[in-house]
A and B are shown apart, each in its own frame.
Chain A
């Protein structure tokens, strides 16, 4: 039972931020594609903007790893 809860906690720790990242990137990506059509020189800025929400899922990954490998 404990193992199942640990696994569920780890899954939630990475799953929820992954959904949040996906949602944020979908919004930024759509707006970025529109902006790029008007101003192609903004490509660097758009890459940065699209990449920013990825930090959430990386932090989620770290927390999930911690849960799996440190919680006994």
Chain B
């Protein structure tokens, strides 16, 4: 249901505008309209203009925006572990907070910079440590050979080892030793031992081949490998300690100050929202004017609140909604508990116009009905019912999933109902096992009667849509449009009667008067609907035939269930039969969730709603916290 809205004007002395907006914002039921058209009388337009904020307010806005930016920057620099809530009154400490924010940003930036440097050094040294740890057994005696040089490498791919060995042998004339080892992290590290005389030449060649030596930081230059192992270990310990200290400093800063900043941010955001809202108001020499919309049922509540806060100084007036205002009325949809889950499907469509209908109740009534007609199997209905119960219990807090569960629950009920009528329980099992006959009709064989039934359902549904379209046109005082819709409805009814008469469902004598009636209506149809009226009529007939999908999709489901049972029976073994049949039924149930949903929705969106729902409404967006 589309909630009835009221067009409101609030008037009061200019100095009170922020306070009035504060009350409105607190209640969260009023949408401000920034347009003056339709609210201000023509003869008053020269006296009223957009609200012009005082210089002080403009400066305050700039100041608050700057504070907000500073708090955001500080927030991005500090870790996010905050447990305390601050109850400080922000208005009185804004200046102090502004200065403190500058100081804290500088401190946090310094700490972050130092942290990054240390983390980079830690990463570099960890790589070196990996190499040293892997080669420690070899390097332990390195100091005993003063004529030898050691070159460390990280080898990217194991295939490179042989190529590397060939290249080194050419440069060193086979006077070298290359040892490789897999490090703890899986990378391959290598150590080349060569005479000092050729080591520089080898290092240059390796560098040209994109295999640079693993060079240690300057602080470790001149140390032997065993000394380097000890030195790197100590430095890593120091770095790790310093990183821990910096992180705890940042944590402390965050825990101590961020709750206060959060509190200030909340206050500043609220204040800025109020200042921004004043830009949508209007003013005369002495007064402010706030125009907007609210649900009619909330009008008394707003009036009481404003009276309580400002007495007779602030006046609230409900204005008449004129025809030219209708496109601007914001839309609120409110439905009863049964229909509310179906808003999930309504949300896929644009909002209806204020003078149109809320599609939700129609989907709520007809969607499960069509779903049940299509699937129509008591066994499948039971399985879907259990799935729905699981979704509703398991996902109570996830509204969309819980709503989907509720829709599935209603749909499964109709599936069971039609399943009983069609005598289907996991296909034709009742007939096979117990020789039971369907209560109403056997879908698998009664193809033409089911086709007629589906068209009849389509006719009734589309007729309802057309009647609602005519009522809607009457309500909008579009008499010609309303007349066109009624004539279209009569002509389609006559065409259906003619088809029924010619196919023997109705007496054949009916054909002639029906043809005369259609011929009589045709000029009226052109007069009210224009030259394209017959085309629209054909479209409507096509819409009705489109409901045959109820029978067509249902037939595929029935046949797949029949195939599942037949194949299961052909296996000759009870266990294999249950597995084969069960798997096919499972596939059919999966298809049975998606296919009827998509096709039922399509019948609503394309065939039904196109007859009477006008889209184009705007969402109601009240000023609120």
Smallest CB separation, B600 vs chain A (Å): 11
A43 within 8 A of B: yes
Q: Once the chains bind, are B350 and A44 in contact (CB under 8 Å)?
A: yes
Complex Cα–Cα for A67 and B447 (A): 13
Q: Which of B348, B447, B602, B605 contacts A54 (CB 8 A)?
A: B602
Tell me how many residues of B have a C-beta within 8 Å of chain A.
18
Write the B208-223 contact mask toward A (1 if CB under 8 angstroms, else 0). Answer: 0000000000000000
B545 within 8 A of A: yes
B451 within 8 A of A: yes
Q: Once the chains bind, are A44 and B549 in contact (CB under 8 Å)?
A: no
Smallest CB separation, A41 vs chain B (Å): 9
Chain A, 30-46, CB within 8 A of any chain B CB: 43-45
Q: Once the chains bind, are B606 and A69 in contact (CB under 8 Å)?
A: no
Q: Which of A43, A48, A52, A69 contacts B447 (CB 8 A)?
A: A69
State which size class the interface on A falls in: 10 to 19
- Given A43-B348, A47-B348, A51-B598 in contact, is the A58-B606 Cβ separation under 8 Å? no
B580 within 8 A of A: no
Complex Cα–Cα for A35 and B103 (A): 48
Chain B, 502-556, CB within 8 A of any chain A CB: 542, 545-546, 548-549, 552
Complex Cα–Cα for A47 and B605 (A): 9
B230 within 8 A of A: no
Smallest CB separation, B202 vs chain A (Å): 55
B552 partner residues in chain A, CB cutoff 8 A: 58, 61
Complex Cα–Cα for A64 and B271 (A): 69
B448 within 8 A of A: yes
Complex Cα–Cα for A51 and B606 (A): 8
Q: Which of B347, B549, B602 contacts A48 (CB 8 A)?
A: B602
B106 within 8 A of A: no
Complex Cα–Cα for A59 and B350 (A): 29
B601 within 8 A of A: yes
B88 within 8 A of A: no
A62 within 8 A of B: yes
B605 partner residues in chain A, CB cutoff 8 A: 44, 47-48, 51
B349 within 8 A of A: yes
Write the B340-381 contact mask toward A (1 if CB under 8 angstroms, else 0). Answer: 000000011110000000000000000000000000000000
A55 partner residues in chain B, CB cutoff 8 A: 542, 545-546
A58 partner residues in chain B, CB cutoff 8 A: 545-546, 548-549, 552
Q: Once the chains bind, are A62 and B601 in contact (CB under 8 Å)?
A: no
Smallest CB separation, B374 vs chain A (Å): 13
B546 partner residues in chain A, CB cutoff 8 A: 54-55, 58
Complex Cα–Cα for A63 and B386 (A): 39
Complex Cα–Cα for A48 and B447 (A): 28
Smallest CB separation, B598 vs chain A (Å): 7
Q: Once the chains bind, are B602 and A51 in contact (CB under 8 Å)?
A: yes
Complex Cα–Cα for A47 and B546 (A): 16
B545 partner residues in chain A, CB cutoff 8 A: 55, 58-59, 62
Q: Which of B347, B349, B542, B601 contacts A59 (CB 8 A)?
A: B542
B602 partner residues in chain A, CB cutoff 8 A: 47-48, 51, 54
A52 partner residues in chain B, CB cutoff 8 A: 606
Complex Cα–Cα for A48 and B601 (A): 9
Smallest CB separation, A27 vs chain B (Å): 18
Complex Cα–Cα for A61 and B549 (A): 9
Smallest CB separation, A68 vs chain B (Å): 8
Smallest CB separation, B567 vs chain A (Å): 24
A59 partner residues in chain B, CB cutoff 8 A: 542, 545
Q: Once the chains bind, are A65 and B606 in contact (CB under 8 Å)?
A: no
Residue of B nearest to A69 (CB): B448
Write the B578-606 contact mask toward A (1 if CB under 8 angstroms, else 0). Answer: 00000000000000000000100110011
A62 partner residues in chain B, CB cutoff 8 A: 451, 545, 548
Complex Cα–Cα for A17 and B53 (A): 65
Complex Cα–Cα for A25 and B451 (A): 25
Q: Once the chains bind, are A44 and B348 in contact (CB under 8 Å)?
A: yes
Complex Cα–Cα for A59 and B547 (A): 10
B347 partner residues in chain A, CB cutoff 8 A: 44
Complex Cα–Cα for A21 and B602 (A): 15
Complex Cα–Cα for A48 and B599 (A): 10
Q: Once the chains bind, are A61 and B548 in contact (CB under 8 Å)?
A: yes
Complex Cα–Cα for A56 and B134 (A): 72
A69 partner residues in chain B, CB cutoff 8 A: 447-448
Q: Once the chains bind, are A48 and B606 in contact (CB under 8 Å)?
A: yes
- Given A55-B542, A58-B545, A58-B549 in contact, is the A44-B606 Cβ separation under 8 Å? no
Residue of A nearest to B349 (CB): A44
A45 partner residues in chain B, CB cutoff 8 A: 350
Complex Cα–Cα for A58 and B350 (A): 27
Complex Cα–Cα for A64 and B236 (A): 81
A65 partner residues in chain B, CB cutoff 8 A: 447-448, 451
Q: Once the chains bind, are A47 and B601 in contact (CB under 8 Å)?
A: yes
Residue of A nearest to B547 (CB): A58
Complex Cα–Cα for A18 and B347 (A): 30
A44 partner residues in chain B, CB cutoff 8 A: 347-350, 605
Chain B, 47-84, CB within 8 A of any chain A CB: none
Write the B429-457 contact mask toward A (1 if CB under 8 angstroms, else 0). Answer: 00000000000000000011001000000
Smallest CB separation, A45 vs chain B (Å): 8
Interchain residue pairs with CB less than 8 A apart (10): A44-B349, A44-B605, A48-B606, A51-B598, A55-B542, A58-B545, A62-B451, A62-B545, A65-B448, A69-B448
A positions within 8 Å CB-CB of B: 43-45, 47-48, 51-52, 54-55, 58-59, 61-62, 65, 69
The 6 A-B residue pairs whose C-beta atoms are closest, nearest first, are A44-B348, A51-B602, A44-B349, A48-B605, A58-B549, A55-B546
* Interface contacts beyond A44-B348, A69-B447: sample of 15 additional A-B pairs, CB < 8 Å, sorted by A: A45-B350, A47-B601, A47-B602, A51-B602, A51-B606, A54-B602, A55-B546, A58-B545, A58-B546, A58-B548, A59-B545, A61-B552, A62-B545, A62-B548, A69-B448
B positions within 8 Å CB-CB of A: 347-350, 447-448, 451, 542, 545-546, 548-549, 552, 598, 601-602, 605-606
